[in-house]
Structure 1
């Protein structure tokens, strides 16, 4: 467009020079018949920016330059209009959610600590089943992830028991009480253990959690990896049980013979 305007400006200057030369001054243009024609000046006002440096070689419609007090000057052109494309910047949490989230990314979210329980409580009978079970459940923790509010849902998926006598068990069942199983005391359960020797034992439980997260109420997405939390240990004593015959109820008369 600058090229076209320069050509037009050169033409105006040349015309002005001719006027001055022909009239001998600034009074006007001599017609040779004693009359003088006053030159007409067009003011060109251009807005916008379009490249028409190709001159008259283009095809299609022309670009009309608005003028004040005169006719429009037109140049051919070849051009296209590129539509405006809005640019939306995602939130930080949305950027984070676009890729895999690992267990290390949610380190600030901590699951509720599990607890271990046993029946009978803190004692065992050698040769009989002791029932162990874990208190751990699925729960949601609120917090912040990559600058945005988020929720993490923890689900227990594994229970590793160390019974303190050299044996361990990695189970997928949390277990429960004899009463909830609707079985008699000392009956075997999916999580029970038998001690062969009397003594004092420390029992340790470690619960493994899988995690999911979501941001701004979106759907739950899996977190890569798992998290293991160790419960407070249990201490219990194993001993032998002796059965004797007595002539009365020891609960009613604990000082009776044999009680």
Structure 2
């Protein structure tokens, strides 16, 4: 990472902490003065003009008459060094992750063969502060997708955890982006995985953590039944006491 001078700051300013380095998280800016020379960033009485006219910098401007340093000590040199950047993994931030959520099915615990059962997982963004690598940190988890496993060998990946039928304004047994219709009667155990994208902030901005962290929901048990109808010669409106009414 390159280190560049801070305009108006001398080495003495840095030593007295009048002009501390600027750390943006991706670069650090510092300043300095060469031995016997002047501030390399313009923080002196020459208004920040480069001085030179020496063997190291033949193309530099000639020094003024009142220059306090001339010759080989009046020149600029770039200063560069490498700074390690913290790169947490999913394993590092797993302890900050949200707890597992519940899985809602509609209608509650019951389904009918061939008719959709709606499933909902209410996943939201989760932030938690603490310490990581002995440094204060904020970790943020944002839901990326949800993988539903319906218990009959069928799975579906959706962009979110879905919505309730009432929120969608739909009647029971309506198809939704997260619903599933069972082909046979029986008792099924459904579940889901919420996949989160993680980011960390050590005080200088959010940094993404590679990969997705999958957190399982609680299970939901669904008893799937068969619906049978009987033919009658009149409707239930016409004969409320008729068979099947």
Shorter-normalised TM-score: what interval?
Answer: 0.5 to 0.7
Distance 2:145 2:172 in 1: 25
User: CA 1:258 to 1:80, structure 2 compared with 1: closer, same or farther past 3 Å?
Assistant: closer
Q: Which residue of 1 aligns with 2:180?
A: 193
* Correspondence for 1:228: 214
- Matched ranges for 1:80-95 at <5 A: none
Counterpart position of 2:133: 146
Structure 2 alignment gaps of length 5 or more: 1-70, 75-82
Matched, 1:210 2:197: yes
Cα deviation 1:9-62 (Å, max 9, x = unaligned):
xxxxxxxxxxxxxxxxxxxxxxxxxxxxxxxxxxxxxxxxxxxxxxxxxxxxxx
CA RMSD of aligned residues (A): 2.9
Secondary structure of residue in 2 paired with 1:108: helix
Query: In structure 2, what is the equivalent of residue 184 of structure 1?
Result: 171
- Aligned residues, how many? 164
Structure 1 equivalent of residue 147 of structure 2: 160
- Cα distance in 2 for partners of 1:128, 1:147 equals 54
1:134, CA displacement in angstroms? Answer: 0.9
- 1:52-71 to structure 2, matched below 5 A, reads none
2:149–2:192 CA contact under 8 A, matched in 1: yes
CA-CA distance at 1:242 after TM superposition: 3.1
Is the aligned partner of 1:219 residue 2:226?
no
Larger CA deviation: 238-247 vs 224-233: 238-247
Alignment check: 8 A CA contact 2:143 2:160 kept: no
| In 1, Cα distance between equivalents of 2:175 and 2:244 | 30
Bigger Rg, structure 1 or 2: 1
Structure 2: how far apart are the matches of 1:79 and 1:169?
72
- Asked if 1:239 is matched to 2:228, the reply is no
* Structure with the larger helix share: 1
Task: Give, in whole Å, the separation in 1 of the partners of 2:114 and 2:94.
Answer: 43
Alpha-carbon shift at residue 172 of structure 1 (Å): 1.6
